[in-house]
Structure 1
């Protein structure tokens, strides 16, 4: 018997009168929000199921390699843009320390837009590389531990880029007199700013396990940079950081000059028309703590700018939490798969996935890509077209840094990277591959 024959004659009429456009819209919205809620927390729940019992609320132990995996959930999938900006702001805040800002002025890294933009690009490359690529050199940390114990028979690292970047950083820093406390304060901000930004502006805060993982990973980076007296927890770092700011943050011209040059670089793509760039500067200043803003000699922004800044950030986090599905693929600063994709004898160069106004390391485009870049230059998104003068052929990690040091200490950097890894470096990232390619 047909189904419709057993239904009341006016069934369709009743159904259409009940399912009004408003009810249909509300129903679809509820279904969508429920789907977003179900999918958005999957990675968060999965990583906590895997490691929360092992950590046991601080009674257990999380290794640096495990901490790196835990951190990647928030930094690559859940809040990549927000936490990347948090790290950029952490570095920006260090310029309120006179000993740091004076050193940057003496280094003449702020003497032109070229040096400022390249320093920013290189710093982001180095930090993102050791944060993103496996610090053990292997995608299986357990194998890395066993491999270290094999001594001369140890296998070469699968992906040594993290420690090449860190060894290059250590070598570059070795040219300057930087106090242990200034190093510690920078490390402190790299731990605390993502935690603070996620709590204030993120669609979710970082859990205690995630906060501990940020500490564990960055503390390990600090030890590999030979930092001394690293505080023993997130809470201890918070206390140390506040005391350090109160002790050393005072207004100086070098603080102001360094901050202005850096903020100009960060806002280089913003047009001056209609006061847009000035507005962006005001909003950025609103995100600074008063002690930092005063040390940089910036005037306080009117209250309305604070309302606008907080409203913008809160709106984005609200939309993300309730209406946006989570990322399916990790968002990284560069192609993380490169370490596994090249045949023996190939010597790759790397390119970032995003660029500032002066597009360092951006490949020269052809076809429609060339006209796209021309359009972006014409509207001020880029200051100039990619080219050889901006290293459009890409970078090698052992070269990264000021132009004067590009061809220096490659052997020393690779040796130190191998020491940090506890195993040899071979394959596409090695100096042997570089020499074989005639570079």
Structure 2
């Protein structure tokens, strides 16, 4: 049992150092996400998903479904809540299994390749590591990097993804190669990215600033290959430096805060707004019927609740 009596800033890190990243990776990742880096993990994982839009086969498919352009708030919430349900309850728990089942039912309704699924999984491992190196109150330790890779290896296994990288270094290599080969412009990708950025301007405290300023700040955090693939403008260099410096300053301030005794859950964040009365994991996401987008000979399943219950 983990004590909630935390006073020293590094108490949670000491707890992590007592855990085995090869067998207790779920508990390590829970501490990382809920106690050590809740805001940074949420931001970096959101940015990880945003990067995937720059792969045309991913961005185009998301645009064709309409979920990220017509119902972007709900799609954002559903993604975050499904992923959090797996982490909170674990892979063996009924609720964790229900969340994975929902994710798989949705994915199997569309012609998503193993390569694209593997790349998305890689972003969940690599982007938070690089975000924390740049902006976190401390970087991930090697133990945390190993636990993160092991956690997503297990998630990927439950998703039926093949040829999953074995280490966080291999995850990074796969991601970098895939982006170098596949990043490119697509109208659908740009539409999904625009819709997501528009949603971000409504999140507290972003909603207090002019939309143009929020978007410029976002451009400043993107690397050149990502901006080029989506055809976003590069902000003036002083703006980019100031934007990144602001996040680094936040990290220095957070370093002196007290450790968080209770986990901060994604569902309690002000950016999650679709379910003010609560939610049921089995009802999250979409339930497409038939083949909602053209399939090139791939598998298509019916994700309606009455059909999904039999999977």
TM-score, length-normalised on structure 2?
0.87
The 1:395/1:415 distance shift into structure 2, 3 A limit, reads same
What does 1:182-193 correspond to in 2, within 5 Å? 182-193=116-127
Structure 1 residue corresponding to 2:169, chosen from 235, 253, 277:
235
1:309 and 1:319 map into 2 onto residues whose CA distance is: 16
2:135 and 2:229 map into 1 onto residues whose CA distance is: 24
What is the deviation of 1:49? 2.7
After TM superposition, the structure 1 stretch with the greater mean CA deviation from structure 2, 272-281 or 294-303, is 272-281
Structure 1 residue corresponding to 2:79, chosen from 117, 123, 126:
123
Matched, 1:40 2:9: yes
1:177 and 1:239 map into 2 onto residues whose CA distance is: 25
The 1:135/1:270 distance shift into structure 2, 3 A limit, reads closer
Q: Which runs of 5+ in 2 are unaligned?
A: 1-5, 290-301
Which residue of structure 2 lines up, in the alignment, with residue 362 of structure 1? 276
Which residue of structure 2 lines up, in the alignment, with residue 99 of structure 1? 57
Secondary structure, in 3 states, of the residue corresponding to 1:40? Answer: coil
1:120 and 1:110 map into 2 onto residues whose CA distance is: 8
Which residue of structure 1 lines up, in the alignment, with residue 268 of structure 2? 353
Which residue of structure 1 lines up, in the alignment, with residue 294 of structure 2? none
2:108 and 2:200 map into 1 onto residues whose CA distance is: 27
1:191 and 1:273 map into 2 onto residues whose CA distance is: 29
Superimposed CA distance per residue, residues 216-245 of structure 1 (whole angstroms, 9 cap, x where no aligned partner) = 010110011110111221111211111111
Larger Rg: 1
The 1:46/1:301 distance shift into structure 2, 3 A limit, reads same
What is the deviation of 1:285? 1.4
What does 1:14-413 correspond to in 2, within 5 Å? 39-51=8-20, 62-63=22-23, 66-112=24-70, 115-137=71-93, 160-269=94-203, 276-321=210-255, 323-333=256-266, 352-356=267-271, 359-363=273-277, 394-402=278-286, 409-410=304-305, 413=308
Which residue of structure 2 lines up, in the alignment, with residue 31 of structure 1? none
1:94 and 1:131 map into 2 onto residues whose CA distance is: 22
2:274 and 2:42 map into 1 onto residues whose CA distance is: 18
1:132 and 1:38 map into 2 onto residues whose CA distance is: 24
What is the deviation of 1:403? 6.4
Secondary structure, in 3 states, of the residue corresponding to 2:8? Answer: helix
What is the deviation of 1:356? 3.1
CA contact (8 A) 1:252 1:297 kept: no
CA contact (8 A) 2:153 2:164 kept: yes
Superimposed CA distance per residue, residues 387-416 of structure 1 (whole angstroms, 9 cap, x where no aligned partner) = xxxxxxx322111113657x9544664565
What is the deviation of 1:111? 4.4
The list of structure 1 runs, each at least 4 consecutive aligned residues, that deviate by more than 4 angstroms after superposition, is: 269-275, 411-416
1:272 and 1:185 map into 2 onto residues whose CA distance is: 29
Number of aligned positions between the proteins? 294
The 1:318/1:275 distance shift into structure 2, 3 A limit, reads closer
Which residue of structure 2 lines up, in the alignment, with residue 142 of structure 1? none
CA contact (8 A) 1:167 1:414 kept: no
Which residue of structure 1 lines up, in the alignment, with residue 292 of structure 2? none
Which residue of structure 2 lines up, in the alignment, with residue 340 of structure 1? none
Which residue of structure 1 lines up, in the alignment, with residue 3 of structure 2? none
CA contact (8 A) 2:51 2:226 kept: yes
* TM-align CA RMSD: 2.4
Which residue of structure 1 lines up, in the alignment, with residue 295 of structure 2? none
CA contact (8 A) 2:19 2:28 kept: no
